[in-house]
Structure 1
Amino acid sequence: MTESEFLVAAEATLAALEAALERANDNDELDVECSRRGNVLEIEFIDNGSKIIVNSQAPMQELWIAAKSGGFHYKLKEGVWRNTRDDSEFFSALSTMVGEQGGTTLQLKP
């Protein structure tokens, strides 16, 4: 994958994630505030002040997540972002992290 292709895929993923979280907030499913600076999406849980940070790393062609449960790296494989250690899917894993930190069940999808 070229760097340009990676940047397009990463941007689309971050934009979709931000939109999904904002919809969940608007629908009172989750009390969260998202802020975006370039390739970094910061998700703050209003009730407890905890955060999840999602960012793209172009040199590595990875998306990184930093959450209370740890740090995770994802590479795009056949159109799906997969954890570089356990092959778990990005949106599924992030749904679990959001649930743990936000205290609610939310299914994020690509």
Structure 2
Amino acid sequence: MTDLEFMDRAEKLLLAVERCCDRINETSDADVDSQRSGGMLTLTFPDRSQIVVNLQKPLHEVWMAARSGGYHYRFDGDAWQDSKGAGEFFACLSRDASRQSGLPLEFAA
């Protein structure tokens, strides 16, 4: 994957997360604040806990930091998969966001 291809795919991932936050806030009692600064997206929950999604261009990875730990995702041709086998990005984000918000939240591409 070239740097340009990575940035295109990674940008789509960040936009999808932002859109999911908007949808979640419009359709539920969740209050997930999303703040973006360049290649970093921070989700803040009512209890002040955060999930940070950060692009790592030199490595062609997307990193996610949550209460449960830190994860590195690489695009496998179909989806963003954790480099250590923890699963697909959106499934993991949904799991961690649900735990941190106390509500069932679903994120998808």
TM class, shorter-chain normalised?
over 0.9
Distance 1:29 1:81, change over 3 A: farther
**In structure 1, distance between residues paired with 2:9 and 2:86:** 18
Rounded Cα–Cα distance in structure 2 between residues aligned with 1:86 and 1:70 = 14
| Partner SS state of residue 58, structure 2 | coil
Which residue is equivalent to 2:21?
A: 21
CA distance in 1, matches of 2:45, 2:78: 29
User: Unaligned stretches of 5+ in structure 2?
Assistant: none
Identify the range of structure 1 (78-87 vs 61-70) with the bigger mean alpha-carbon deviation: 78-87
Q: Which residue of 2 aligns with 1:56?
A: 55
Equivalent residue letter for 1:41: L
**CA shift for structure 1 position 87:** 5.2
Partner of 2:81: 82
Aligned CA RMSD, in angstroms, stands at 1.0
- Aligned to 1:86, the other structure's residue is in SS state coil
Structure 1 residue runs without a partner (length 5+): none
- After superposing on structure 2, the runs of 4+ consecutive aligned residues of structure 1 that deviate more than 4 Å are none
Structure 2-normalised TM-score?
A: 0.96
Give per-residue Cα distances to partners, 1:37-95, cap 9 Å, x unaligned.
0000000002x010000011000100000000000000000120000001511000110
Query: What is the aligned partner in structure 1 of residue 43 from structure 2?
Result: 43
* Percent sequence identity over aligned pairs: 38
Q: Quick one: which amino acid aligns to residue 92 of structure 1?
A: A
Separation (CA, whole Å) in 2 of partners of 1:8 and 1:87: 24
Q: How many pairs align? A: 109
Aligned twin of 2:6: 6
Q: Indicate the larger mover: 21-30 or 33-42.
A: 21-30
